[in-house]
Amino acid sequence: MEKYIFDEKNGLWYELNGDYYLPCLTVPEDEQPVGIWGQRHLRYISQYQKVRHATLLLTGKLNSYLAEVDTCAMQMLDSLVTQMAAREGVTEQMKAIDQMVWVQRMNNIRNAAEEIVNTEVIFV
The answer to the question of residue 25 being in a domain is no
Q: What is the pLDDT of residue 29?
A: 67
Query: What's the structural domain count of the chain?
Result: 1
Distance CA 42, CA 64 (A): 12
Q: What is the pLDDT of residue 39?
A: 96
Strands 4-7 and 20-23 turn out to be unpaired
The range of the structural domain enclosing residue 69 comes to: 31-122
- Give the residue among 108, 74, 73 at the shortest CA–CA distance from 88: 108
| Whole-prediction pTM | 0.73
5 has which bridge partners? 14
Distance CA 45, CA 51 (A): 9
Percent pLDDT > 90 in the chain is 79
22 has which bridge partners? 15
